[in-house]
Amino acid sequence: MEREELLKSLTVKNEKKILLVVLDGLGGIPYRDGKTELEVAYTPNLDRLAANSSCGLAIPVLPGITPGSGPAHMSLFGYDPIKYQIGRGILEALGLDMDVRPGDVAVRGNFATLRDGKIVDRRAGRIPTEKNRELIEKIREKIKEIDGVQIILKSGREHRFAVVLRGEGLGDGVCDADPQKEGLPPKPPEARNPESEKTARVASEFIRKVTEILSDEPRANTVLLRGFSSHPSLPPMQELFKLNPVAIASYPMYRGLAKLVGMEVVKTGEEIEDELETLKSLWDKYDFFYLHIKKTDSYGEDGNFQAKVKKIEEFDSLLPRILELSPDVLVITGDHSTPSRLKSHSWHPVPFLLHSPYTFRDGLREFSEVACRKGSLGIFYAVDGMSLMLANALKLKKFGA
């Protein structure tokens, strides 16, 4: 019996409200004066809450595995991130705020340069984003559908774009149409299984037509397609956990991930204050709230230690407004670590704070990587966070008699 089936068989609906706050890329490693961002940040509210909560460190996927946003969020939403892998094409489309539905196949595209039958630049000289938009508009006008399959396009940055194929009988077992190296001829999209032959045929025809449409372009005169992936059709949180969940997130990728697990996704602003305003206005309508704060990760990726510290302090100063709502269960954590020192996501376990009437009061002196290690939750897998939240909301029946 899989974890999800077990949980599904045990969850009950009640009125209690769970709030999951994800400070993206929250965790850090020692850097300035040997301290992490959380250690340097002045966070009196978080520290006080941590002292009165159960804390621990959450491993996003497996020890040593650095997750992308997809698997890191799947874990926090209670879905085994190795079992439920979200394809690259889907993530790209979600990141561009495209609507992706069950049955769709999504693909990542690059504009590229074709000369004398060979791909001579896999990124078409990184054309400006503005140029990309023009080209996508041009293609969009001329290609609406192929073989009864709707072709939906969206520009990304520079040479990047995404395609969503919508129609009957589309499989995602298609090899990348990308020679990987420059100086080689284009590689046609090939089906790896019979269910994906239609997809490969449509993709092939798409490349042929685009290459015709763009034949006068000096650089962006063909496209490469990668990461064919189906909508993962995840069992929704409503079904698995009997929750009525809503996502408060301003970045497309996270809004998309939330949609994949069945969350309602609402309009909100970019600032933490905007998001808290939205949270408050929706408080009566849902029983599970996913609140996503992006900038902690962005500054970590930039290697901007101070800016990440400031963003954490900003959240701390707003924490009382969250506490005023009196969630029955409150979790504050990150989806993964993004240490400024590494300027990238990392594998380090993430501080995790769980507050409810049924948690221990760990008495930690602060909310940080080092302090959380001494908390009552110990070091655990982030995917177990959901059952802990449900248990603390008394939404799980006894297993067995």
Q: Which residues bind a second copy (CB under 8 A)?
A: 1, 3, 6, 10, 29-30, 34, 57, 61-72, 81-83, 85-86, 88, 91-92, 339, 341-342, 344-348, 358-361, 369-370, 373-374, 376-380, 384, 386-392, 396-401
Nearer to a second copy, 196 or 229 (CB): 229
Give the C-alpha distances (Å, rounded to integers) separating 297 from 73, 92, 275, 345, 350: 13, 18, 17, 8, 13
Is the Cβ of residue 11 or residue 221 nearer to a second copy in the bound state?
A: 11
Q: Which is nearer to a second copy, 96 or 139 (CB)?
A: 96
Q: For residues 117 and 400, which CB has a smaller minimum distance to a second copy in the complex?
A: 400
**Nearer of residues 174 and 390 to a second copy, judged by Cβ:** 390
Contact 107, 203 (CB under 8 A): yes
d(CA 42, CA 146): 57
**Do 144 and 204 touch, CB atoms closer than 8 A?**
no
C-alpha–C-alpha distance, residues 266 and 282, integer Å: 9
Question: What does the radius of gyration of the chain's CA atoms come to, in whole angstroms?
Answer: 23
Q: Which residue's CB is nearer to a second copy, number 23 or number 55?
A: 55
Residue 332 C-beta: closest distance to a second copy, Å = 18
Among 377, 289, 370, 341, CA closest to 47:
370
CB nearer to a second copy: pick between 141 and 401: 401
Task: Give the nearest distance from C-beta 273 to a second copy in angstroms.
Answer: 29
Say how far apart CA 388 and CA 382 lie, in whole Å. 10
The least distance separating a second copy from the CB of residue 361, rounded to whole angstroms, comes to: 6
Amino acid letter, residue 282: L
The DSSP-derived string for 278-326 is HHHHHTTT-SEEEEEE-HHHHHHHHT-HHHHHHHHHHHHHHHHHHHTT-
> How is residue 233 annotated by DSSP?
-
**Among residues 129 and 344, whose Cβ is nearest to a second copy?**
344
Tokens of 93: 């489309």
CB of 194 to a second copy, least distance (A): 23
Return the bridge partners of 380, or none. 58
Residue type present at position 116: D
Q: Note whether 59 and 349 are within 8 A (CB).
A: yes
Q: Which is nearer to a second copy, 41 or 388 (CB)?
A: 388
Q: What is the dihedral of CA 258, 264, 266, 270, to 10 degrees?
A: -20
User: What's the closest the beta carbon of residue 77 comes to a second copy, in angstroms?
Assistant: 14
Q: Helix (H, G, I), strand (E, B), or coil: what is residue 165?
A: strand
Q: Residue 283 or residue 381: which is nearer to a second copy going by CB? A: 381
- From the CB of 281, what's the least distance to a second copy, in Å? 30
User: Of 186 and 300, which has the nearer Cβ to a second copy?
Assistant: 300
Provide the CB-side half-sphere exposure for 101 (13 A, CA). 6
Least Å from the CB of residue 314 to a second copy: 26
User: In whole angstroms, how close is the CB of 104 to a second copy at the nearest point?
Assistant: 17
Say what angle helices 252-260 and 69-76 make with each other, to 10 degrees. Answer: 50
Minimum distance of a second copy from residue 179's CB (angstroms): 21
Task: Report the nearest approach of a second copy to the CB of residue 142 (Å).
Answer: 30
Total residue count of the chain as it appears in this document: 401
Beta bridge partners of 331: 20, 354
Q: How far is the CB of 128 from a second copy (least distance, A)?
A: 24
Contact between 236 and 242 under an 8 Å Cβ cutoff? The reply is no
Please, are residues 220 and 209 in contact by the beta-carbon 8 Å criterion? no
